[in-house]
Amino acid sequence: MKVDIDEDSVLYNKYDQSGQRTVKELQKTLPNIQGGESVHIAKNIYPNSVYEEEISGIEGDEANWQTKKIRHISLGNQTLAHFTVSPQGNVEKILVFGDHLGSSSILTDSMGRVKTLYDYYPFGGTRLDSSDGLHVSAYQYTGKEKDEETGLNYFGARYQNADIGRFTQSDPLTQNLSDDKSLVEKFGKNIDQVLANPQQLNAYSYTINNPIRYIDPDGNSQSPFDGYLKATNKLAKLLGNAIDKAVAYLRSERQNKVNEYAAQYDQLSDEQKEMYGSSEQYGNAMVMQDDTMNVVIGMQGGGVANDASLVVQKVAIKAGDTVAGLKVTFHAAEQFVARSMNKLQIKSALEKGVKYLDTETNNILHVVGERGKGGYTIVTDRAQKVLVSTENFIRNLVPKNSPDRFKLLE
């Protein structure tokens, strides 16, 4: 189908056997640098409803045409995102947030930053179009493609003119009024249901002139918009099943971990056994400690999460473990994660740290760096067999109340 846009531009639309558009091609004649004229092509190809290609270039120079690929992501009738691949191979993700009719209202980038705002008059006229120019969508009012060339919205079976709130072709339903069987097969209504609302006999009206409540999914007949409801119900069902499976799996894994720790109970000292009371209580305490460490690490953010080696070092240490030859106490294990320490710091402090004897506790402080400048302290017992505490700071080694408490060890 040929549409004359202006004296220099012609639009061609091609359709398949079912009437769905497969190609939209704009040909625009413009002066070229040689003093003649060139035909500039802007073509959209629609293999199916979820994928399209935008092709542009100069007629006769097909080798240098550029192709942009677009993938549409939907759930039910609701568009969720557009993924585009530029001719240079750059991928752009545009997230789509719609209104109660499924119209594109807010477009964001993949990080959720708002880039474009759309708003519409009842019959689809543009009320607001605020865009950064990069994050745009041709699929706007009720999720239908708006042709920039004509200003019409493409609904599948026909086009809609939002300026007058009408379709530009007659309703296919009105062409089948004399055939009740055809009405039921094509539109899901018999003649009595059609006649029950006289507005349905208006061959050019959009959604029986009630665009606030209804949409027209394919240009054939109005229906209440239930895209959100269907999408939400489907998503809720999927998430519910996934959550049930995840919970069952996590419970099973947790019990396995409890059993693994409980099996180590006999290896504890008498003092530790007395503290925990039973193998089951010891197993639950160790798993709870693991959970706490994982939560703290998660709260610390990307800097730690991106360094897999540090994550392993932090998750691995638990009360009773041995680190750099030192037995780890429960307090030390807690401080290790809470203060964002790692095993390399312990090893470095033992090998290179300046050592002080705490005369009150009889522990040894292994000090690395300077106070207030990123220094830290590792505390061990005097025999240097037990890791008592980890500190991401350096204490005041000459306190006023007991200036002789800390003695420098040679």
Handedness of CA 285, 289, 295, 296 (dihedral sign): positive
Residues 246, 384 within the same domain = yes
Question: What's the pLDDT band for 139 if we cut at 50, 70, 90?
Answer: very high
In the predicted structure, residue 137 carries a pLDDT above the cut 90: yes
Nearest by Cα to 354 from 366, 370, 372, 343: 366
Q: Using an 8 Å Cβ cutoff, are 67 and 52 in contact?
A: no
pLDDT in tens, 167-207: 999 998 888 888 888 888 888 888 898 888 888 889 999 99
Q: What is the pLDDT of residue 117?
A: 95
pLDDT in tens, 221-258: 888 776 555 656 666 777 777 777 777 877 888 888 88
Residues 160, 260 within the same domain = no
Residues 240, 164 within the same domain = no
User: For 60-125, where are the E strands, in sequence order?
Assistant: 66-75, 78-85, 91-98, 104-108, 114-120
pTM above 0.85, yes or no: no
Phi, psi of 26 (to 5 degrees): -100, 125
56 token code pair: 């542009």
- Domain end, chosen from 168, 188, 219, is at 168
- State percent of the chain over pLDDT 70: 89
C-alpha of 159 from chain center: 34
pLDDT in tens, 70-106: 999 987 677 899 999 999 999 999 999 998 888 999 9
Question: What's the pLDDT band for 275 if we cut at 50, 70, 90?
Answer: low
User: What is the C-alpha separation between 72 and 94, in angstroms, rounded?
Assistant: 10
Number of folded domains that form the chain: 2
158 token code pair: 């026909």
- Domain end, chosen from 152, 168, 184, is at 168
Residue 290 falls in which region: left (phi positive, over 0), alpha (psi -120 to 50) or beta:
alpha
Residue 228 lies in a domain: no
